[in-house]
């Protein structure tokens, strides 16, 4: 409960509609996309960087802890308050200005609360887009803070690749505002401090404005669903496409039978594209070009079909089938996977990242471990196999959904195998939050934790929800 003195002071700083204290109105800010919700003392909704600076400074000076929040679409429990009822939420949903596009420079400068869909709608008339394909509609500030990747990482990279400049507010007593670079592609005139904030998950400060590089929209696109011989065939298939398709290769997404079946069974708008039944594993491959078809140049769909035909004829039998069709239909299955899993039961999700060569071996060992120790959980994995990322999702029975000891044992077993056994990352692209705090504390080397906490202390940041060091070193 926020006392009346603080309520009045914060309300004055953010203006009418800027402070939410009513429990019913707070609910949307307290409920994450995954995991249980928390309770906020209040929700602060500043509309300008000046207001963000003012409320942050006030909170720091008075010892009020707060959690920065963008669109609240994250899966790491890093944007919602805990259950104590003592944390404030600092929502950036009103921070929607500016939205400035420079088509010639191929850049856009936006407020931290601008949604990805809003930016891409504004870019569309210029034939441009920010090519980070996600299953949610996050804010640009949140995307930068978590260094979002997505399904087209293979071709375009993550947010770190696109962020050219940031405006940030530090969690110090003054609410210091820093301008970090000015949208230049090349700038070695100072240390690139902005890179600390990209992927920093709010632990170093609050991103209030972002300048990003954007790209020309594809004018040709082709996609197919590939059925590999087995999971061991996926890496050489990927290598073949990287050689034969070159820079036209934009996505290479793996999907297990269990994940695909649940999407087909639980998403009414989705039809089964596989006439012979859902295979054990499938890969969605996409090729794009930014130019219109040229005379004498093979259309992109013909190029894709020819690459697949050549692979089907190889003696090693890497590819056993390929399905071609409208691009939207090919992507429909991939985009429906998360919805299908949510509809089929309680999900225990892992956002893992491996060296590409280790994916198949990890999966085999994980399947054996699950069959032996957790047979009641179904593995429904999918992900960005081209960059080593896998959403290692486990769907369990409803009666085990609220068994914290069982879920904790499952998480421990999977993470120990992945991180200790294969040198994997326990957070490939979802960022850090309370959901991963135990993994951070255990698997991140103590020396790295110490240096991370020391860097955060330089910026005066001890009020965010992500703890980047041992508990004894954070105020």
Q: Between vectors from CA 435 to CA 42 and to CA 282, what angle results, nearest 5°?
A: 125
Distance CA(300)–CA(222), nearest Å, equals 6
- CA torsion 328-330-336-340 (nearest 10°) is 150
Identify the weakest region by mean pLDDT among 33-47, 94-108, 271-285, 375-389: 33-47
Residue 155: pLDDT above 80? yes
Residue 475: pLDDT above 70? no
The two domains 99-216 and 220-339 share their CATH topology (first three levels equal): no
pLDDT bin (cut points 50, 70, 90) of residue 202 is confident
Residue 432: pLDDT above 90? no
Q: What is the pLDDT of residue 79?
A: 87
Q: Is 138 left (phi over 0), alpha (psi -120 to 50) or beta?
A: beta
Q: How high is the mean pLDDT of the chain?
A: 92
**Tokens 């990482």 -> residue:** 153
**Which among 234, 266, 276 is positioned nearest to 333, based on CA atoms?**
266
Q: What is the pLDDT of residue 468?
A: 58
Tell me the average pLDDT across 248-269: 96
Architecture, CATH, for domain 220-339: 2-Layer Sandwich (3.30)
What is residue 280's DSSP assignment?
S
Give the residue extent of every domain in the chain.
4-91, 99-216, 220-339, 346-433, 439-473
Distance CA(36)–CA(31), nearest Å, equals 7
Whether the Cβ atoms of residue 114 and residue 127 lie closer than 8 Å to each other? no
pLDDT per residue as tens digits for the range 368-391: 999 999 999 999 999 999 999 999
Identify the weakest region by mean pLDDT among 143-147, 314-318, 451-455, 464-468: 464-468
Identify the weakest region by mean pLDDT among 25-39, 150-164, 334-348: 25-39
The fold for domain 346-433 equals Alpha-Beta Plaits (3.30.70)
Architecture, CATH, for domain 99-216: 2-Layer Sandwich (3.30)
Q: What is the pLDDT of residue 471?
A: 39
Tell me the average pLDDT across 145-159: 92
Give CATH for domain 4-91.
3.30.43.10
Q: What is the pLDDT of residue 37?
A: 80
What is residue 87's DSSP assignment?
P
Residue 74: pLDDT above 90? no
């Amino acid at each position: 409960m926020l006392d009346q003195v603080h309520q009045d002071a914060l309300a004055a700083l953010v203006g009418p509609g800027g402070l939410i204290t009513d429990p019913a109105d707070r609910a949307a800010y307290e409920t994450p996309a995954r995991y249980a919700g928390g309770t906020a003392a209040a929700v602060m909704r500043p509309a300008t960087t000046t207001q963000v600076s003012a409320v942050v400074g006030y909170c720091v000076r008075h010892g009020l802890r707060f959690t920065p929040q963008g669109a609240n679409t994250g899966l790491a429990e890093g944007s919602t308050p805990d259950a104590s009822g003592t944390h404030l939420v600092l929502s950036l949903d009103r921070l929607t200005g500016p939205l400035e596009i420079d088509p010639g420079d191929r850049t856009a400068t936006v407020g931290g609360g601008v949604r990805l869909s809003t930016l891409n709608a504004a870019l569309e008339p210029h034939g441009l887009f920010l090519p980070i394909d996600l299953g949610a509609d996050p804010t640009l500030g949140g995307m930068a803070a978590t260094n979002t990747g997505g399904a087209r990482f293979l071709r375009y990279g993550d947010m770190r690749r696109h962020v050219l400049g940031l405006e940030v507010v530090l969690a110090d007593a003054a609410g210091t505002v820093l301008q970090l670079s000015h949208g230049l592609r090349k700038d070695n005139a100072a240390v690139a401090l902005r890179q600390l904030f990209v992927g920093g998950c709010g632990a170093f400060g609050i991103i209030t404005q972002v300048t990003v590089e954007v790209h020309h929209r594809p004018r040709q696109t082709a996609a197919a669903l590939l059925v590999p011989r087995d999971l061991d065939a996926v890496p050489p298939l990927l290598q073949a496409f990287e050689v034969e398709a070159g820079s036209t290769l934009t996505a290479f997404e793996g999907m297990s039978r269990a994940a695909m079946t649940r999407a087909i069974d639980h998403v009414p708008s989705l039809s089964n594209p596989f006439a012979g039944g859902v295979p054990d594993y499938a890969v969605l491959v996409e090729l794009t070009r930014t130019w219109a078809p040229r005379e004498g140049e093979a259309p992109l769909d013909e190029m894709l079909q020819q690459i697949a035909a050549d692979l089907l004829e190889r003696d090693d039998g890497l590819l056993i089938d390929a399905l071609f069709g409208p691009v939207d239909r090919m992507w429909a299955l991939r985009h429906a996977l998360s919805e299908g899993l949510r509809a089929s039961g309680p999900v225990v999700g892992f956002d893992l990242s491996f060296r590409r060569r280790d994916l198949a071996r990890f999966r085999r060992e994980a399947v054996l471990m699950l069959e032996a120790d957790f047979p009641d959980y179904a593995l429904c994995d999918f992900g960005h196999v081209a960059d080593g990322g896998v959403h290692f999702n486990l769907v369990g029975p409803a009666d085990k959904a609220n068994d914290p000891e069982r879920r904790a044992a499952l998480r421990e077993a999977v993470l120990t195998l992945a991180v200790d056994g294969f040198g994997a990352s326990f957070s490939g692209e979802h960022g850090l939050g309370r959901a991963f705090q135990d993994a951070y504390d255990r698997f991140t080397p103590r020396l790295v934790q110490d240096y991370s906490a020391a860097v955060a202390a330089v910026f005066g940041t001890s009020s965010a929800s992500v703890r980047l060091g041992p508990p004894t070193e954070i105020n």
